[in-house]
Amino acid sequence: MTSNLRIRLRQAVYLIALFLIIVFLTVQGREPWIAALGYWKVVMGLVLLTPLSLCVQTISFRFCLPKDSLELSLATLVRIWAIASITSLVAPLVAGLAIRVTLLKQEGLDIKLSSIATIRQAFINLEYAWIAASIILMLYPWPKMIFLGYATITLWLIYKLLYLYTPLGNFRVFKLFLTSRKYSKLPQKAYPWLWGQIVAMALNYWLSFTLGGARLSFHLCLLLACLTVIMSIVVFVPNGLGVLDALWVWIASQQGLSLAEGTALALTIRLGFMIGAIITYLAICLIGWKNERDLKSSS
């Protein structure tokens, strides 16, 4: 791919993402901005925590790549994740993943490698969320379904046994993403970062609801983070748009907020994630531009 074509493709990707953001905000009207003014502390908290979440996600992605793949800088990966996250908030998850793969390709990472690593990371995230949610529900049972945690962990154990001791493990999808020689073993230092994705998301929720006047215990925030990961597999829904928001409103109402306050808080959480990703992206671009200008002036 020539440099001119690469630049034009990158510009096209950015313009598409910008267009989706404008459409999303236009459809929402003034309400998100009015809500953000009322919950400005929530927005500020999410803006501060979003770079941390993006860093944890990108470091986890690095570990999902084969050892001999191109190693991109953390700043480059966070910039790509920021623009893809913004797109995923306003468009189906597939669009965000497509933009991520395209930008990684422009940086020199093979499409097949980045696609497999992305799906592998999603597999791991889903399994970890499944396990964590089951443990939380066993330790803190839901009154209406006391045995829910035991049921879900039993399903996970059945899946593991089928994978290990039946032909299920020989299916191409599992061999490709989970048992391929290139991808089979993760280093020990990868696991804290992979689990850290759920913890970072829970921290975002804990801060958002606490600053929004609907204080949640951290184990409930962890459970909410697990549900977010599980809901993200519904690829045709923009980051659980509507489904997650209804859950946030319901949780806020259980903590004493009115329907109007809960709805405003839910809008603010989504808007806060978006603003945080936009500011992170712009900050990295500004730092890169400044470093490039300093290099030119020194030479």
The answer on pLDDT for 32 being more than 60 is no
DSSP-based three-state secondary structure for 142? strand
The answer on pLDDT for 136 being more than 80 is yes
Q: What is the mean pLDDT of the chain?
A: 78
Cα gap 239→232, rounded to integer Å: 6
Q: Looking at 79-83, 119-123, 186-190, 287-291, which range is the least confident one?
A: 287-291
145 forms bridges with which residues in the sheet?
142
Residues 6+ apart with CB under 8 A from 25: 32
Cβ(87)–Cβ(95) under 8 Å?
yes
Cα gap 208→114, rounded to integer Å: 32
Q: What are phi and psi of 89, to 5 degrees?
A: -75, -25
Q: Looking at 10-19, 74-83, 101-110, which range is the least confident one?
A: 10-19
Q: Residue 142 to residues 119, 138, 147, 220, 256: CA-CA distances in angstroms? A: 31, 9, 8, 11, 19
Q: Looking at 108-112, 174-178, 222-226, which range is the least confident one?
A: 174-178
Cβ(292)–Cβ(75) under 8 Å?
no
The answer on pLDDT for 289 being more than 50 is yes
Q: Where are the alpha helices (DSSP H) in 65-189?
A: 74-90, 93-106, 111-139, 148-165, 172-177
What confidence tier does 294 reach under pLDDT thresholds 50, 70, 90?
low
Cβ(109)–Cβ(69) under 8 Å?
yes
The answer on pLDDT for 10 being more than 50 is yes
Q: What is the pLDDT of residue 235?
A: 46
Averaged pLDDT, 195-210: 92
Q: 137 or 239: whose pLDDT is higher?
A: 137
The answer on pLDDT for 96 being more than 80 is no
> At 105, which amino acid appears?
K
Give the closest residue to 281 by CA, choosing from 135, 100, 153, 112: 100
Instruction: Return the top range by mean pLDDT from 79-88, 245-254, 271-280.
Output: 271-280
Give the closest residue to 106 by CA, choosing from 76, 78, 82, 86: 76
Q: How far is CA 196 from the centre of its chain?
A: 12
Neighbour-count burial of 185, counting CB atoms closer than 10 A to its CB (0-12 exposed, 13-18 middle, 19+ buried): exposed
The answer on pLDDT for 221 being more than 90 is yes
Token pair for residue 116?
């497999």
Residues 6+ apart with CB under 8 A from 254: none
Give the closest residue to 159 by CA, choosing from 151, 265, 33, 261: 151
Q: Looking at 24-28, 73-77, 129-133, 168-172, which range is the least confident one?
A: 168-172
Instruction: Return the top range by mean pLDDT from 58-67, 78-87, 153-162, 189-198.
Output: 189-198
Q: What is the pLDDT of residue 52?
A: 92
Cα gap 173→175, rounded to integer Å: 6
Q: 228-272 pLDDT, tens per residue?
A: 888 776 544 445 555 677 788 888 888 888 877 788 888 888 888
Q: What are phi and psi of 197, to 5 degrees?
A: -60, -40
